[in-house]
Amino acid sequence: MVDVAKNLESVRKRIEAACERVGRDPSSVRLVAVTKTVPPEVIEEAIRCGVTDIGENRVQEARDKYEVIGGKVRWHMIGYLQRNKVKYAVKIFDVIHSVDRLELVNELEKRLSREGRRLPVLLEVNVAGEESKHGVAPDNLEELARSVLESPSLEPVGLMTIAPYVEDAEEVRWVFRRLRELRDELNESLQTGAFKELSMGMTNDFEVAIEEGATMVRIGTAIFGERD
């Protein structure tokens, strides 16, 4: 059995230590516990240990768990969002990290306006240009951001990225730094301060991401153990 309480304590300590190294306030980093493949009873245990934000990457799985867990935590959609799942996603999620194309912006706007909801969204950027990854190319980010700013039901709050998997997280420090620069450039060119959040950093690399300015870290394995 994984000791969720102990793992969470260790993750929180590591978040604090990373913040301390660069003179940041630990309260500026939100821990999103990634609960994909984690059963509801283990998620409930994490919630008892103070988890307030959970991340899921599949709409159907999230719907099933939402029936058990409900709205006592903030639900973050962190995975690829198919157009035909948007109508369900807008009923569950409080934040969407994976907005990566115009088609999705339009579908979200349509479904959210129908629900009478406004939802905070982050734009997922494929900083490293990996073929296998989703996310908008940095060159197309501004156009996508404009479309979000023009969608009344979408509240732009930041950018998200997934770094390539590497043994030594130092090798992907540039990815996190680049996402921060892209955020700053975007706010400048669009004359907005809307894009504040940086969702970056997972089990393997969250400390480096925090050193580079992450405001949301998405952590699964370090809390819930290795899963398949």
Ligand X SMILES: *Cc1c(COP(=O)(O)O)cnc(C)c1O
Binding site for ligand X (CB under 6 A): 34, 36, 57, 78-79, 162, 202-204, 218-222
Find the residue with minimal CB distance to ligand X. Answer: 220
**Residue 221: closest CA among 203, 206, 205:** 203
CA distance 59 to 182: 28
Which residue number, 153 or 157, has a Cβ lying nearer to ligand X? Answer: 157
Which residue number, 34 or 141, has a Cβ lying nearer to ligand X? Answer: 34
Shortest approach of ligand X to residue 92 CB, angstroms? 17
CA distance 222 to 165: 15
Shortest approach of ligand X to residue 166 CB, angstroms? 12
Which residue number, 104 or 153, has a Cβ lying nearer to ligand X? Answer: 104
Shortest approach of ligand X to residue 212 CB, angstroms? 16
Query: Residue 68: is it exposed, middle or buried by C-beta count within 10 angstroms (0-12/13-18/19+)?
Result: exposed
Shortest approach of ligand X to residue 118 CB, angstroms? 23
* Contact indicator for 54, 32 with CB cutoff of 8 Å: yes
The angle subtended at Cα 216 by Cα 85 and Cα 180, nearest 5°, is 105
* Contact indicator for 208, 201 with CB cutoff of 8 Å: yes
Which residue number, 153 or 208, has a Cβ lying nearer to ligand X? Answer: 208
